[in-house]
Amino acid sequence: MEDAVIALQLPKTHILQPSLIAGKREEKRMGEWLAKQFFKVFQFLLIGSLKKYRPIHPETIAKAMVWLGNNEENTIKIQSDKIKELGGE
């Protein structure tokens, strides 16, 4: 799907690829809940190149999306570490 969108060559196309989103959900997802609990305890181990796997807050993703909409950015696929940078985290 991402490749199909990129092939359209639309201006200002950005595909955000966040890690685990750390917000509350109305849905109950056991696997996601377990992952959140795991990351709460072991987040300090995610350093260096593993830092991009740290959970990200939905507000940070939203701020990054607003920033991308209002500024020139050439990156198409944007991973969690860059999302956090753009979102001010």
Q: What is the pTM of this model?
A: 0.78
What is the tens place of the pLDDT at every residue in 16-61?
999 888 877 778 788 888 888 887 888 888 888 888 888 899 999 9
How confident is the model at residue 88, as a pLDDT?
Answer: 87
pLDDT band at 75 (very low <50, low <70, confident <90, very high): confident
Domain range summary for the chain, segments of one domain joined by + = 2-86
Contact criterion met (CB below 8 Å) for 68 and 86:
yes
DSSP the chain: -HHHHHHTT-TT--EEE-SSB-S--SS--HHHHHHHHHHHHHGGG--GGGGGGS-B-HHHHHHHHHHHHHS----SEEEHHHHHHHTT-
Euclidean distance between CA atoms 57 and 55, whole angstroms: 7
